[in-house]
């Protein structure tokens, strides 16, 4: 049932995006959300199949799906950690110190905590994935 719910959520998420054929395509956050949703659908389906089947071949395939798709999600989290750290480094070392316009500088200072929070959340997820062996 979870796999069906996740698949439905994924389909609804895809349907809610604008028509990419007439635009520049999805944004990076939209792409990341699509990939994360698709991976989670396959992980959930693999876990369900593994728990319900008596076939050794199905169990092996289900475990392969869990492992492979879990690896993609781990790689995405690692990318988010590196990305947010590089943005913070740029903000702290270059952008904020170099900004001449006070409004621009204030905006950069104002958005910085959001990047810190995102980095901390990504690091937390990264640590949890490493603990779980995902």
Q: Which tens digits make up the pLDDT trace of 6-22?
A: 444 454 444 444 554 55
80: pLDDT strictly greater than 70: yes
Question: Could you report the per-residue pLDDT of 26-68, keeping only the tens digit for each?
Answer: 877 677 778 778 888 888 999 999 999 999 999 999 999 888 8
Question: Could you report the per-residue pLDDT of 94-133, keeping only the tens digit for each?
Answer: 999 999 999 999 999 999 999 999 999 989 988 887 887 6
Distances from the Cα of 85 to the Cα of 82, 106, 123, angstroms: 5, 20, 10
Residue 16: the pLDDT is 47
Q: What is the pTM of this model?
A: 0.54
Residue 23: the pLDDT is 65
Residue written as token pair 């993609």: 72
Residue 97: the pLDDT is 96
Residue 38: the pLDDT is 83
Measure the CA angle with vertex 42, ends 55 and 64; round to 5°: 50
């Amino acid at each position: 049932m979870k796999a069906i719910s996740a698949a439905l959520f994924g389909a609804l998420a895809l349907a809610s995006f604008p028509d990419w054929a007439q635009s520049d395509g999805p944004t990076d956050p939209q792409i990341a959300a699509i990939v994360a949703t698709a991976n989670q659908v396959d992980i959930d389906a693999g876990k369900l199949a593994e728990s319900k089947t008596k076939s050794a071949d199905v169990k092996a395939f289900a475990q392969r799906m869990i492992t492979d798709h879990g690896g993609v999600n781990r790689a995405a989290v690692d990318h988010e950690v590196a990305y947010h750290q590089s943005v913070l480094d740029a903000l702290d070392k270059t952008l904020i110190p170099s900004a001449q316009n006070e409004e621009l500088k204030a905006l950069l200072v104002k958005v910085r905590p959001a990047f810190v929070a995102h980095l901390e959340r990504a690091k937390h997820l990264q640590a949890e994935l490493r603990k779980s062996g995902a």
